[in-house]
Structures are given as structure tokens and as C-alpha cells.
Amino acid sequence: MTQIDETKLNELVGRVLGDLGGAVSVPLVRIGDTLGLYAALRKTGPATADEIALEAGCAPRYVREWLSAQAASGYVSHDGGRFSLTPEQAYVFAEPDSPVNLIGAFDTAAAMVENQAKVQAAFKTGKGVAWGEQAGCMFCAVARLFRPGYVNALVQEWLPALDGVVDKLKAGAKVADVGCGHGLSTILMAQAFPKSSFTGYDFHPASIAAAIAHARAHGVQNVAFEVGRAQDFPGGSFDLVTCFDCLHDMGDPEAAAAHICTALAEGGTWMVVEPMAGDTLEDNVNPVGRLYYSASTMICVPTSLAQETGLALGAQAGEKRLSEVIRAGGFKNVRRAAATPLNMVLEAT
């Protein structure tokens, strides 16, 4: 019989218990967000469960149990029967534009659970699960997950890190946002650079419909959205093409790179934003890599395998592999222009 190392066993059990605590928090966090309980906490300050329930319009007994669970998780503060959010807790759970608002991550985790049966079947067949066939809330969850990063870094840091691109955008450039999803990135750029014109392309019709509705709701005039694939979207002579967190999801990213290369105007730039990753598994054995490998197993790899050649780069492809794909499309120069703990920004010319 194999000898058990009690210290190692206890460490593993402790880690698993912590993970389970996080897993069972997913529905509770989503309830708190959807029912406005975090907003009520933020508004009322230190308050009793009954006061928070009244503010949120919820039943006190449920709210009291929810608050207790949140306090045990460290997501809510508790002192003498009164509950509150510290500024840091509010920054994560109650500030929609915070760079570390993580509600979208909980939504995505819930969608991954809903996706289990389809992905589990694909493990046996080796086939993919098409983006349009995944869990119904996957599209809004992913859009919400990426939104804080785009709101806080896209215009402020990522675009300025590219060589000469901001000057072009201020003067009036032609831009394609390929794989735009719900159009959050496209609209943010259009709002920041009113003299430029932006077209968002995505192969998923429902996402394009959501993007069009989003643009109308915000009154953005210099943006349009069309259904189109990365390897053959219409138009050309673009000064800038962007791909946000989608190149690794494509079935044939090399064909996409080749088409983007021909769609750029002379002196144009391709900005590729991808999940932060090292080039080896050893480099990615960390909390960020753990999240991305899990999401990649449940979302990214199945999406790619459902398309064309199904290259299935995965969310942790790393800069070296991504650069190889980009150069295979005809680009001469690839460099990392910017980075955050969650994303890398590559500039290709």
C-alpha cells in the first residue's frame, strides 16, 4: 500500500475545501448581483440584514443567510450584527467600471457548469462545441467578464502603446474590430475617436444583434456591425484591425491572419489582445493560468474544434506560439506592446 504523506494530504484537502467554498459561492454572488444586494450594502453602509433586505426588496430570512455566507467568504464585512462593504470589497462586487470587478467571472463559471454535458460528450468524440451552441448566457457572461479590462485599459494604455496608431485615430482612421462579440471594445474605441470609423465583425449573428442594440442605446454614430468571419470578412484598406481575446478561439487563425494582413492599408497595424500566458505549462502554473486553462477546456478549445481546421490554440497559447501564427499570415514584425495581469497586447505590422 502506498504510504500517505499526511502533511501533503492535509495541504491538498485544505486547497480543495477552499476551492469548494469558491465554487458554491458562484450562485450566491450572482444572486447578490442580480437582486441588487451588493448595491444595497454599498448604499446603506453598516446595516442589519433586515435593513439591507428592505433596501433590496428581498425577504429578510434569505438575506440574513446570504449575508452570513458572504461574510464567511470574506466578500462582505460583519461587525456586531451589521454588514457592510469595505472599499476593496465594493471595488470587486459593486463597482461596474472597476478594473477588478469580477462579477462577469462568476457568470462565466456558471455558464461553464451549464456547458458540462456538451463538452463532456466532446471529450469522447474529439469534436467541438460551436460558439452558438454553448450555454445560453455564455455570450453575455464573456462580454461582461472582459468589459472591465477594456473600459480601464483599451483607450488609456493599449492603443497608446502601439506605434503611431492614436495619432491616426484622432485624425480619422478606418478600423475593423474582428471577433467583436457584443461590440464593447468597438464602441469604446468609437466613443474615444469620433473622427474615425469602426466596423465590428463577428461570425455569431446573435452577438452582432446585441452589438447593434448596444450601439443604438449609447447613440454611437461612427460604428457599424456586420456578421463576418475572420478569414473572409468584407472590406479593406483598414488602418487598424483589432482582435480582442478571440484569435485563440478561431478554427483557422493562420487563415485569419493572412486575410487581416491583406485587409490592412499600407502601414496599417493589427492589434491582438490575448490572455496573459507564458510559453510553457510550467510558466502557467499560477492562479491566472489555472483560470484560463479551465475556461479553455470548457469554452475555447471546443469552440475552435467546431470550426474549419480546428487548430485549437487554447487560451494559454503563449506569446511565442501566437507570434508564429501571426507571422504565418504574412506579418513581418510582432512585438508585445503592453500587458496586464490578465492580458497581453501584441502589435503586428
The string of pLDDT tens digits covering residues 16-27 is 999 999 999 999
The average pLDDT across 211-222 equals 96
Predicted confidence (pLDDT) per residue in 282-336, tens digit: 999 999 999 999 999 999 999 999 998 889 999 999 999 999 999 999 999 999 9
Please identify which residue in the block is written with the cell numbers 467546431.
306
In this structure, are strands 343-348 and 334-339 parallel, antiparallel, or unpaired?
antiparallel
What is the pLDDT at residue 67?
98
Q: Which residues contact 69 (CB under 8 A, 6 or more apart)?
A: 25, 28
Residues 38 and 184 both lie in one domain: no
User: Are residues 64 and 127 both part of a single domain?
Assistant: no
- Is there a domain that residue 98 lies in? no
Q: What's the mean pLDDT in 211-238?
A: 96
Domain co-membership, 84 together with 133: no
Burial class (CB in 10 A: 0-12, 13-18, 19+), 5: exposed
Beta carbons of 33 and 93 less than 8 angstroms apart: yes
How many domains are there within the chain?
Answer: 2
* pLDDT surpasses 90 at 234: yes
In the predicted structure, residue 184 carries a pLDDT above the cut 90: yes
43-72 per-position pLDDT tens digit: 998 999 999 999 999 999 999 999 999 999
Q: Which three cell numbers stand for residue 234?
A: 468584407
User: pLDDT for 113-142, tens place per residue?
Assistant: 999 999 999 999 999 999 888 876 787 888
Looking at the structure, tell me whether residues 41 and 171 fall in a common domain.
no
**255 pLDDT above the threshold of 80:** yes
Q: Is 322 helix (H, G, I), strand (E, B) or coil?
A: helix
75 lies in which domain range?
Answer: 6-93
- 1 found inside a domain: no
What's phi and psi for 91, nearest 5 deg?
A: -65, -30
Q: Are 38 and 32 a contacting pair, CB within 8 Å?
A: yes
Q: What is the pTM of this model?
A: 0.91
Parallel, antiparallel or unpaired: strands 223-227 and 197-202: parallel
Q: Provide mean pLDDT across the span 94-106.
A: 94
In 3D space, the residue among 15, 25, 8 whose CA is nearest the CA of residue 287 turns out to be 15
If asked whether residues 44 and 160 sit together in one domain, one would say: no
| Residues 161/345, Cβ–Cβ less than 8 Å | yes
Task: Provide the percentage of residues in the chain whose pLDDT is more than 90.
Answer: 93
Q: How confident is the model at residue 1 (pLDDT cuts 50, 70, 90)?
A: low
Distance CA 7, CA 97 (A): 42
pLDDT at site 139: 77
CA within 13 Å, CB half, 159: 25
48 shares its domain with 108? no
Residues in contact with 92: Cβ distance below 8 Å, sequence separation at least 6, in sequence order: 75, 98, 100, 101, 102
Write down the residue that cell numbers 442580480 correspond to: 34
User: Do 70 and 126 belong together in one domain?
Assistant: no
The residue out of 42, 66, 93 marking a domain boundary is: 93
* Contact between 115 and 299 (Cβ < 8 Å): yes
Residue where a domain terminates, one of 64, 93, 122: 93
pLDDT at 339 > cutoff 70: yes
Cβ contacts of 266 within 8 Å, gap of 6 or more? none
Distance of alpha carbon 327 from alpha carbon 347, whole angstroms: 11
